[in-house]
Structure 1
Amino acid sequence: MSTRRKPAFNGQPTPLTSAMPSGSIRTTPAARPPFFPTRLEAQLLAIYPITLLMGSIFSTLSPASRNAPYNAVSQSHEPAFAPSYFAHKKNVFNVYFVKLGWFWTTAAFGVFLALWPGLGKGLSVKRIRATLRYSAITLWWVFVTQWFFGPPLIDRGFRFTGGQCEMLRDPNAREDMSETREYFTGAACKAVGGSWKGGHDISGHVFLLILGSSLLWFEFLPALTTVEGLRDGRRILLEDGKVASVAVEKDPETDKDVPTTQGVKFSLGVAALMWWMLLMTAAYFHTWFEKFTGLLVAFAGLWVVYFLPRGNPKIRAVLGMPGV
């Protein structure tokens, strides 16, 4: 017979083990490994490869996209022949939303962190752990796109696959680049008039949009799954080696008469716009393989922060889990 334990409604979480709080726990046979997503999470994550596939199919079948010249260096259609407003790199959504994507992710997360009552009052354990998860995901974004003890991982991967910075403005300067091009990032190369070409360029837009929107979804999904019918137990490994199923439960004391949308609407809007821009990126920018690797790199960071702790009590004691 399975056993079930409920939280104490005194403002503090009841520990599942000596290191982890929870809302509801049921020990069950391990039908699904702890590291795997729930049915609801799997459906959510499946949206991303389906979106990339939809965009790629559209770009292949659309006459406007097929007839528009594509520049492999800029990973986009030539501006003069762009098949859509969203195919222009300077469209307002790309310039003020995607290019500032982590700012919008941070703003949406901050609103949710401040307003969602399910995180408790003040500097609660849940709020601290949510901040740590956000910090871990942000660190992965920094490593991949901004800095990794030098050039970011995207630029390191580009050079590892044979890419380099080729000077375009001064033929004589091209010879000087032979010794120093390895230290250039893509941004630095373009700043000196060079062309970043020759290697595999992971789609930074796909990576950012999937990572940012998934962060928001995983954090506010428990706020939505308090609704009956949306609850979906996550399997975790306890310190004694047993596998348990833990689900979000509504706290009748702290959540009474609180709408489930409080603190969620803005985050949901940002996540939805990120999905739309992911579809536009899939339709008009980058090759299929560049988009696919952007997806994989984003999923790698998400798995470490949101799935690895389920099977590792020590990591879970630090990062916790959304909603518990």
Structure 2
Amino acid sequence: MPPAISSSPAALVLALLLGAVALGLAASWRLADGGASVAGVAVSPWASKRNPLNVYFAKLAWAWTSALFGAMLLPAAATRPAAATLRATLRYALATIYWLAMTAWFFGPPLFDRLYVRTGGACRVPPATPGAPRAAAFATASACRAAGGAWAGGHDVSGHCFLMLHSALFLTEEILLPMLFSPPPPRSRPLLGLARRAVAVATLGLVAVWLLMLFFTAKYFHGVEELLSGSLLGVAFWVTTYRQGLLQAD
């Protein structure tokens, strides 16, 4: 897909995503200026990490991304060149590796956890915990939580900003833009056209949910620096892969 054609819609999606973060941050400042207590803030269901949209759509963003990408890729493989399908699969593999390296594993702890520890963070286990190990014994956030502790003291990159921006921009390039600019499937394959439209509608709905969750993430969680780092890292793969021409979408 020529960069000149796809840049404007993709930039619009990016502007909407970053705008949601900015609006949420502005709302958090108004909340602070109003003197709202932590207890008062927690009354809102959007301030709870157990909110269903957070649990099932934000935290599982890459699972949804993978499902929608597969639902678009497999039927389309019958009508597109094999090389194009291979390039799309490679882009997905690289995007998945990038996500895993940041959030799950990078030859040990993921990069987000490494950054947190390098900037002075550690796992704080309540003193009442029987046999609580030293803070230095925990190198990952998941291990810390499993021991009943919590990260404290370091730079906590907003994983929500990273994941939802990364996922939304990937789906924009791989699903939404091809729907706009690629020729429709042949009339002899009506089910393929129906499948493409269904996946595109599902993608739009998912991106809308992520816009909402980005707003509330910025409103109730993280500071400016953490939101900024999460957003920059969420955009980095898109810029490198799609805007700079590395394995650009067909």
- TM-score of the superposed pair, with normalisation by structure 1: 0.66
Farther off after superposition, 59-68 or 151-160:
59-68
C-alpha spacing 1:138/1:63, structure 2 compared with 1 (3 Å): same
- How far 1:123 moved relative to its partner? 7.8
Q: Which residue in the other structure is 1:104 paired with?
A: 64
C-alpha spacing 1:120/1:89, structure 2 compared with 1 (3 Å): same
Give distance in 1, aligned partners of 2:225 and 2:149: 24
2:122 pairs with one of 158, 164, 173 = 164
- How far 1:276 moved relative to its partner? 1.7
Q: Which residue in the other structure is 2:9 paired with?
A: 40
| Helix, strand or coil at the partner of 1:201 | coil
1:177 pairs with one of 117, 134, 140 = 134
- Residues 309-324 of structure 1 mapped to structure 2, 5 A cutoff: 310=245, 316=246, 319=247, 321-322=248-249, 324=250
Q: Verify: 1:194 aligned to 2:149, yes or no.
A: yes
Q: Verify: 1:82 aligned to 2:45, yes or no.
A: no
- Residues 114-129 of structure 1 mapped to structure 2, 5 A cutoff: 114-115=74-75, 117=76, 120-121=78-79, 124-129=82-87
Structure 2 counterpart of 1:59, one-letter code: S
- How far 1:302 moved relative to its partner? 1.9
1:299 pairs with one of 235, 239, 248 = 235
Give distance in 2, aligned partners of 1:103 and 1:65: 38
Gaps of 5+ in 2: none
1:280 pairs with one of 198, 216, 225 = 216
Q: Verify: 1:136 aligned to 2:94, yes or no.
A: yes
Greater helix content: 2
Give distance in 2, aligned partners of 1:286 and 1:54: 14
| Helix, strand or coil at the partner of 2:106 | coil
| Helix, strand or coil at the partner of 1:263 | helix
- TM-score of the superposed pair, with normalisation by structure 2: 0.84
Q: Verify: 1:218 aligned to 2:154, yes or no.
A: no
Give distance in 1, aligned partners of 2:93 and 2:222: 29
Q: Which residue in the other structure is 1:60 paired with?
A: 29
Greater strand content: 1
C-alpha spacing 1:296/1:66, structure 2 compared with 1 (3 Å): farther
- How far 1:61 moved relative to its partner? 2.0
Over aligned residues, Cα RMSD in angstroms?
Answer: 3.1
Structure 2 counterpart of 1:133, one-letter code: R
Give distance in 1, aligned partners of 2:34 and 2:86: 47
Q: Which residue in the other structure is 1:233 paired with?
A: none
Aligned residues with identical type, % of pairs: 33
Q: Is the 8 A contact 2:141 2:151 kept in 1?
A: yes
**Alignment length, in residue pairs?**
246
Structure 2 counterpart of 1:168, one-letter code: P
Give distance in 2, aligned partners of 1:293 and 1:252: 40
Gaps of 5+ in 1: 1-21, 26-33, 70-77, 227-247, 311-315
- Residues 3-22 of structure 1 mapped to structure 2, 5 A cutoff: none
C-alpha spacing 1:110/1:256, structure 2 compared with 1 (3 Å): closer
Structure 2 counterpart of 1:61, one-letter code: R
- How far 1:261 moved relative to its partner? 2.4
